[in-house]
């Protein structure tokens, strides 16, 4: 049986690693298999003291230790919504390097969370559940919404947000309007496919109707620099609300906090043997 790694991009925010560990424990309980929480990069910069006394694992040193201990079969369950360069370039490059140094081993990588063109309908249900949960807690009907993600220089990643937004529009009540926004984007015209920055979209909505609240479905998995307490997203909402008295913005829960995500990931583990392995080399 392959060693199963739940892999995220990594963050210098301690809560991101703690959230990854919680998700890995839930996934292990659901799948009946050991699941190792590992980050691609960054997380090893966080002190062990901020992580309940246990430093974070990152991919390259984790794989080296595992192979030194005799493991040669690995299954990666990636926590990316779309085909980020981390998946399409970084991991394959690292795998090739390790095979040159370490010899034969097998690594299978599950698809991203919302592989297009088919997408992942269960992810739509997760986002819809978060929208309804936030709306119910506030006692309001979701009429104005902005689906916000990190932003990417890769059109195929933005296409995932667009696909999910289209599915959500089909499920929202009549009269609800869903916009899209990003936290980061490059200023060049070549990156207009990302759409507008969140602050720009919120100011536009506030100018049209400052009295109607806006819900922000978050296309983020875990707390970090953007999402979560004290993140950029909260600061942006606070700035716009301060500039426009009476205007209110309410972020939903994170995708990683919804139990439906565990079901999606458990399905990836169950299908692990079906994922193609990269060609192995030796010597």
* Residues 238 and 269 grouped into a single domain: no
76 is a domain residue: yes
State the CATH number of the domain containing residue 206.
Answer: 3.40.50.1400
| Cβ-defined contacts of 255-258 (< 8 Å, 24+) | 255/123, 255/126, 255/127, 255/130, 255/218, 255/219, 255/220, 255/221, 256/19, 256/23, 256/79, 256/220, 256/221, 256/222, 257/19, 258/126, 258/129, 258/130
Residue 226 exposure: Cα atoms within 13 Å on the Cβ side: 17
Rounded mean pLDDT, 9-32 = 97
Whether residue 278 is predicted with pLDDT greater than 70 in this model: the reply is: no
Whether residue 268 is predicted with pLDDT greater than 80 in this model: the reply is: yes
46 is a domain residue: yes
Whether residue 279 is predicted with pLDDT greater than 50 in this model: the reply is: no
* Residues 36 and 156 grouped into a single domain: no
211 is a domain residue: yes
* Residues 134 and 162 grouped into a single domain: yes
pLDDT in tens, 187-212: 898 899 999 999 999 999 999 999 99
* Residues 126 and 22 grouped into a single domain: no
282 is a domain residue: no
* Residues 37 and 70 grouped into a single domain: yes
The mean of the pLDDT values for the chain is 94
283 is a domain residue: no
145 is a domain residue: yes
* Residues 198 and 226 grouped into a single domain: yes
* Residues 46 and 132 grouped into a single domain: no
233 is a domain residue: yes
Q: Can you give the pLDDT at residue 282?
A: 33
Task: Report the domain count for the chain.
Answer: 2
* Residues 134 and 245 grouped into a single domain: yes
For residue 51, the enclosing domain spans 3-112+259-274
Q: Can you give the pLDDT at residue 272?
A: 87
* Residues 44 and 145 grouped into a single domain: no
* Residues 137 and 98 grouped into a single domain: no
281 is a domain residue: no
* Residues 41 and 107 grouped into a single domain: yes
* Residues 245 and 143 grouped into a single domain: yes
């Amino acid at each position: 049986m392959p060693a199963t790694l739940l892999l995220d991009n990594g963050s210098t925010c301690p809560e991101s690693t703690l959230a990854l560990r919680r998700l890995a424990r839930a996934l292990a309980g659901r799948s009946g298999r050991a699941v190792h929480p590992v980050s691609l990069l960054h997380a090893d910069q966080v002190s062990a003291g901020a992580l309940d006394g246990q430093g974070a694992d990152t991919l390259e040193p984790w794989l080296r230790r595992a192979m030194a201990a005799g493991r040669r079969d690995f299954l990666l369950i990636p926590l990316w919504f779309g085909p980020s360069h981390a998946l399409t370039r970084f991991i394959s490059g690292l795998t090739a390097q390790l095979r040159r140094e370490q010899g034969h081993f097998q690594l299978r990588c599950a698809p991203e969370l919302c592989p297009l063109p088919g997408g992942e309908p269960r992810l739509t249900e997760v986002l819809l559940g978060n929208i309804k949960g936030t709306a119910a807690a506030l006692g309001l009907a979701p009429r104005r919404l902005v689906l916000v993600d990190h932003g990417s220089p890769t059109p195929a990643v933005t296409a995932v947000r667009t696909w999910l937004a289209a599915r959500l529009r089909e499920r929202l009540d009549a009269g609800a309007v869903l916009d899209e926004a990003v936290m980061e984007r490059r200023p060049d015209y070549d990156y207009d496919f990302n759409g507008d920055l969140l602050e720009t979209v919120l100011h536009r909505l506030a100018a049209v109707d400052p009295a109607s609240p806006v819900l922000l479905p978050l296309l983020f998995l875990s707390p970090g620099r953007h999402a979560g307490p004290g993140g950029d997203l909260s600061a942006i909402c606070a700035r716009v609300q301060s500039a426009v008295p009476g205007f209110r913005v309410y972020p939903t829960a994170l995708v990683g906090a919804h139990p439906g995500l565990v079901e999606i990931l458990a399905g990836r583990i169950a299908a692990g043997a079906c994922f193609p392995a990269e060609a192995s080399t030796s010597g």
